[in-house]
Amino acid sequence: MASVVELLRVEPGTTPTLADIDPRSTPGTRKDKADAKAETAEIGAELAELQEQLYAGARHGDPRRVLLVLQGMDTSGKGGAVKRVAGQVNPAGVRITGFGTPTEEELAHDFLWRIEKALPPAGTIGVFDRSHYEDVLIVRVHDLVPRAEWEARYDRINAWEAGLVEQGFTLLKVMLHISPDEQRERLLARLDDPTKHWKVNPADIDERAHWADYATAYEAALSRCSTAAAPWHVLPADRKWYRDWALSHLLLEALRDLDLSWPTPDLDLEGMRAALQG
């Protein structure tokens, strides 16, 4: 069977049409919800071990690290996905950063300034809940900077990401793809639940009027910034169990590809044993 990475990957040089990707589809799994949930939990154990090997390697000079970049419309489940990833591995090895509306200080700098500051150190898994891609998404949809400025960002992003990959980063870029109907249900559910009211933002409802513009902006980013060094993936996310299953697989495949092993430092084990016993 093709890997989940391959199934969801946007092939470099192609332009995906989001309307042709069913957000309720479940590529790569013939399992039902209960079986998929069980498998997701099993994968967690392997993820935890691989993450510890990544961390151990960095203690012995391995520069490698993983950066999971999550993008998606409001309620697409970025927060749930973060919880899922973080809940499966040692929290000490994960760096989670959410990117909201830039502060004045951030706006005074280049758009990559705040992103660079949040990059994960060697040996860790970084998770971005939104990212530098907002600078070609919401910024493009709402004309927050002149067109020439956001147009130039696609190439800048590609060059910058390629540089990260050379330094030992594995970039896993994932768009959580939900339908407008599913978003309406999730926004309504928030209104019905007092424990979710803190998340309610009236602007999220107004943003729905721009759905088609967001789709165009996403398609441009997916097409122009899915590179061999750092490809994009579109993950159908209307079903939460599938989102968690597929995301766990994506991470697992990315970590397995690193061919990690336990470091073998040059230690005088016998000598130390004797010293402890003596």
Binding site for ligand AMP (CB under 6 A): 74, 99-102, 130, 134-135, 138-139, 144
Q: Is 130 one of the binding residues for Mg ion (CB under 5 A)?
A: no
Which of 52, 74, 106, 253 touches Mg ion by CB under 5 A?
Answer: 74
Q: Which residue is nearest to Mg ion (CB)?
A: 74
Residue 3 vs 97, nearer CB to Mg ion: 97
Report yes or no: 130 and 100 within 8 Å, Cβ to Cβ.
Answer: yes
Residue 11 vs 116, nearer CB to ligand AMP: 116
Q: Which residues pair with 169 in a beta bridge?
A: 65
Report CA torsion sign: 21, 8, 82, 211: negative
Q: Whose structure tokens read 């000079």?
A: 61
Give the C-alpha separation, 171 to 165, whole Å.
Answer: 7
| Binding pattern for the stretch 28-67 against Mg ion, x by CB under 5 A and - elsewhere | ----------------------------------------
Residue 157 vs 252, nearer CB to ligand AMP: 157
Residue 139 vs 157, nearer CB to ligand AMP: 139
- Do β-strands 65-72 and 169-177 pair in parallel, antiparallel, or remain unpaired? parallel
Q: Is 186 one of the binding residues for Mg ion (CB under 5 A)?
A: no
Q: To the nearest whole angstrom, how small is the minimum distance from the Cβ of residue 250 to ligand AMP?
A: 21
Q: Whose structure tokens read 């209307």?
A: 238
Burial 69-88 (b: 16+ CB within 10 A, else e): bbbbbbbbbbebbbebbbeb
